[in-house]
A and B are shown apart, each in its own frame.
Chain A
């Protein structure tokens, strides 16, 4: 009995030890930190001979991941610039393309999900392997790809155990999807750039997006009328409404719209009963992000209740599927996450066509009439 207990305890101890992050002791002095404008999920510190990347928990109280980057080969350090990169989600494709990292890319999660033309060409040219998603990763393909670095979305500090299996691969866990501000999400390009010593490029890309976004936002500050916006579609009787502090809520607000759930003090979505949504938003002026549905007829067939909403009756529904590849990859979830200025411009064109009279929609298009 005692030996069984000892075995169990040693297992517990052993597995706990596995969780402890490898700390790197250096004697060099901190010389600078990256000045971050909107993102809250990461920080970059510059030391004399290396840089340190920190990734924070969603509540920003803990440091979930630490990465030590150096140009030289050192124990516990990631050597930069990284030579072989893999991406476990198509959302990183825009950052990869903008930073010009196509040539370093050696594997992607699933080719069909990717919209970017330059990356599609690169994938075809080199017959890039597919790894599958994190939960059902193709281990042999991962080994074959010989990646040094993998961009993967973070699991709030929980790991899938995959990085313990591959100690030679660095998993760069990104939490850009938790950023409240659209510009915060775009700013993560500066995080991704660090692994390739491309901070200067990232800064200038981000700077131009930021300036554009802020100028556009300025245009809607004093609009006399803020149209009421209904977003997403119901799953059965339930509607998953983004919180009032979320990325989507900020975009609507910045585009001069009124989001009826702006008082929900949270970032993630809340399930809300159909009845309550209807009560609050039956008289919405616009309905955006209509999901998988491309036409009014399709919605009427699958979600007949939508017919009761004024935005639907008045044919004021817009979907974010204007740029879709032949295989279904949607650019809204790619460059749309980085080029948030273009995304904002789209929403302004929809909500206030008089403000940007000569602009065409990029990511959005009206729901097809029939």
Chain B
């Protein structure tokens, strides 16, 4: 237990450091002395700096932090739920639902509709979530649910393809850009709605640790422990569905993080107790999302890179390396 506390403290410290670095770095180089001057109550050396820090970088860093946590924890929950290491937050077809919602808005209605993009994404993903919950009552095995999620992805993919074919290039551009994901879309006002939901979701996930642990041992075993498999399945579906829908609504589909972070944590701590893994996965997810955001800003360059490419481009080789190293040791 002591080791766990030490690890959580270590990750928290790391998170704070990365968070500060993320705010300090960007394509506009703000001198460090400016920060100290500001803390002393003096003005910034350029009038645009204040808005860049407080209106742009800070909300972005907070979004990255919580979106990373929520996606990573969702991935962990789904991997426990399906007892399948390939599962991730998107296996339920929720991101496909979101992209269908956004595609309908941007491509069919040319964006000139009453809804905003996050709302369309949210409605799309909740629509898929309702189908999944309906199906979960009928399907006995989790594998059928997994296949249903895949099928929904194919279906929505095909619909989105047809929509794209008949759309103008500008409309396709804005849709593709949405699909590349972004942490920078959120404002303080959005954060006021986004963060409480994500925090509640994460706390709720933590509170179900015991039931999740028993799920890992198999559904029949869980049942013999007195855990209602049916109700925990339902709860998990709702929880992951809402977490992922919420993140996707504000940031677009963020690839890779949700699937990979739980593996990273499992490679680091050989624990399957969710009481330990959930907080660690949440912290690691936040750290990695912030790191990716930092790389995406490409400090010193004039442009930014799409966050989705960064998460996969830098994340995948790292996980592969870690896997190889781990396997050699074991």
Q: Judge: A and B partners, yes or no.
A: yes
Q: Which residues of A contact B (CB under 8 A)?
A: 136, 235-238, 270-276, 278-279, 282-283, 292, 301-302, 304-305, 308, 328
Additional A-B contact list (12), CB under 8 Å, known A271-B304, A274-B56, A301-B116: A235-B177, A236-B184, A237-B182, A237-B304, A272-B302, A273-B28, A276-B302, A278-B28, A292-B110, A292-B111, A292-B112, A308-B51
Which has the most chain B C-beta neighbours within 10 Å: A236, A270, A272, A276? A236
Contact of A238 among B57, B187, B303 (CB under 8 A): B303
Residues of A within 8 A of B26 (CB): 273, 275
In chain B, positions 9-32 with a C-beta closer than 8 Å to chain A are 26-28
Chain B CB within 10 Å, residue with most, of A275, A304, A308, A328 = A275
- Known contacts A275-B26, A282-B48, A302-B116: A270-B177 contact under CB 8 Å: no
**Can you show 7 pairs from A to B with CB atoms below 8 A apart?**
A235-B173, A271-B303, A276-B27, A282-B48, A282-B51, A302-B111, A304-B189
1/0 per residue, CB under 8 A from A, across B150-181: the answer is 00000000000000010000100110010010
Measured between alpha carbons, how far is A275 from B47 in the docked complex, in Å? 13
**B contact face: mostly helix, strand, loop, or mixed:** loop
Closest partner residue, chain B, to A135 (CB atom): B169
For A236, give its contact among B116, B177, B297 (CB under 8 Å).
B177
A239 to chain B minimum Cβ distance, whole angstroms, is: 9
Within 8 A of A (CB), among B36-75: 46-49, 51-52, 55-57
Q: Indicate if the CB atoms of B184 and A237 lie closer than 8 Å.
A: yes
Number of A-B contacts (CB under 8 A): 72
CB neighbours of B177 from chain A (8 A): 235-236
Q: Smallest CB–CB gap between A86 and chain B, Å? A: 20
Output the least CB separation between A48 and chain B (Å). 45
CB-CB under 8 A for A273 and B111, given A235-B177, A236-B182, A278-B52: no
- How distant is the Cα of A301 from the Cα of B117 in the complex, in angstroms? 10
Assembled-state Cα–Cα distance A315/B49 (Å): 22
Residues of the B chain whose Cβ atoms lie less than 8 Å from the Cβ of A308: 51, 55
Q: Which of A136, A271, A278, A328 contacts B56 (CB 8 A)?
A: A278
Closest to B55 in A: A308
- Residues of A within 8 Å of B117, CB to CB, are 302
